[in-house]
Amino acid sequence: MKKLVDAYFKTSSNLSPALIHKSYCHDHPHTPSNERLEFLGDSVLSLVISHRLFLLFPGLSEGELTIRRSQLVQTSALAQKAAQISLDKRLHMSRGEEESGGRNNPNLLANTFEAVLGSLFLDSGLTSCIAFLRDIFPDTEILSVKQLLKDPKSFLQEKLQAAGLGTPVYTTVSSTGPDHAKNFVVQAEVNHTILSQGTGLSKQKAETAAAKNALAKDLPAC
């Protein structure tokens, strides 16, 4: 990181709302948490990283781009980026949250990173968000992502478990056609919530397709 995140803001005080964890609001009831900013920042992050991947990998399919994006912006990766720019030290939270390890909580830190991005978007617009993310996700890092280290099912399982949602379950919905050319439809779900469906000429291919489709969507609420 070449400079502090504050340097990307036109008005440095606009960063402050992004650093308010909801636990802090219990003791400060008129202070809004950073959850709305997190919602906005998540979309900004997805747009900017998707655009970068689109330009850097002109030969990759939609599914392959989705997998790479998922690896770059997964909870553990964003938590590391948050710590890299010292958001863990600057975050306001309740004493109880801090004593329970809140400053080292990957989900909390990843959410804060997204909230900061949402706040930056409101303060300075998309151009500043692009510059910030280019600094913290340089092209060399994006190009070095090894897509084939994990298959889509492994990526999805890692993503769900990092969010505290458990392990995905794959269920065959239907199989049609002759034995030598059956077409399977499989759905992926977690905690009895359907995430997506996928089709393929084998159960394994259908499960992989379902995982790819799930990775392209928002996670269900805990």
Q: Which two tokens stand for residue 195?
A: 């995430």
Taken as a whole, the chain contains a residue count of 222
What is the per-residue DSSP string for 48-67? HHHHHHHHH-TT--HHHHHH
100: tokens are 């329970």
114 is catalytic: yes
Which of these is catalytic: 6, 27, 35, 42? 42
DSSP-based three-state secondary structure for 34: coil
SS percent in the chain: helix, strand, coil, step 5: 60, 10, 25
- The one catalytic residue in 38, 97, 114, 123 is 114
Instruction: Catalogue the active-site residues.
Output: 42, 114
